[in-house]
Amino acid sequence: MTQTWNPVDYQEKGSFVPALGEPLLDLLAPVAGMRVLDVGCGDGALTWKIVEKGATVVGIDASEEMARAARARGIDAVCVSACDMAFDGEFDAAFSNAALHWMTEDPAKVLRNIAKALKPGGRFVAEMGGEGNILRIREAERAALQKRQLDLDVLAPKFFPSAGQYKGMLEAAGFAVSQMTLFNRKTRLPDGLSGWLKVFSTGVLSALSEDDLPVFLQEVEALARPYLTDEQGWFADYVRLRFVAVKQ
Ligand code: BEZ
């Protein structure tokens, strides 16, 4: 099951994703002359900030729509999945924000390909959803889908590893992990949970009929409301796994 992306929706409603990824850029510390691979570059909003620092960046994304949107910003972006990419020893650093959890097919191969793309001593600086990420959103979606004999893990599989699990996978792929933290990031949803689902859960929503869609959204909101609202409105229960690893 593939996720379809609408770069216009994403730029309008999902711009908090690259904005919240900005602290990662400090960890990457791009400088002129550095060659950087951005794994899952999306529409290139954050990638462009690396380019602005003078680094030479290649972005890859499995979505042609997103790679095209990144190219429209002037980024050297290629539509290829991290599982299929074949770069070899050419990058000083790899970077990834909010993308690795979408790569569920073979996460170990993704890490081996990133290691292969790096020069020895090259750094991999990334942030992804970690253990417990959007747990309440997923529980609500799962329950509403079960009523319809549909399976969330088939329609919208995600990979949210624990710190220990991912450290082991990075090491198995040939990295030494120099920093790793798992932390909560309560994230405001100005368009409510329905607004978030319409941008980030298209794999699920596209399985529903036009008539059922508003019913489904209401059901998911009703199930999640006790956990994901407070006096300021809706929020998402994001949990981030952030790390720096060095290719051995
Ligand atoms: C995220 O954690 O960034 C995320 C996870 C699943 C769907 C959309 C976003």
For residue range 165-180, what is the model confidence (pLDDT) as tens digits?
A: 999 999 999 999 999 9
Structural contact between residues 230 and 186, judged by C-beta atoms closer than 8 angstroms: no
Atom in ligand 1 nearest the alpha carbon of residue 239:
2
Mean pLDDT over each residue of the chain, to the nearest integer: 96
pLDDT, position 248: 98
Q: What is the pLDDT of residue 243?
A: 98
**pLDDT tens digits, residue range 38-97?**
999 999 999 999 999 999 999 999 999 999 999 999 999 999 999 999 999 999 999 999
pLDDT surpasses 60 at 1: no
pLDDT band at residue 133 using 50, 70 and 90 as cut-offs: very high
Beta bridge partner(s), residue 33? none
Report the topology of domain 7-133+157-189+239-247. Answer: Rossmann fold (3.40.50)
For the chain, the structural domain boundaries read: 7-133+157-189+239-247
In this prediction, residue 115 has a pLDDT band, given cuts at 50, 70 and 90, of very high
CA of 120 to the centre of ligand 1 (A): 31
Nearest atom (ligand 1) to Cα of 101: 5
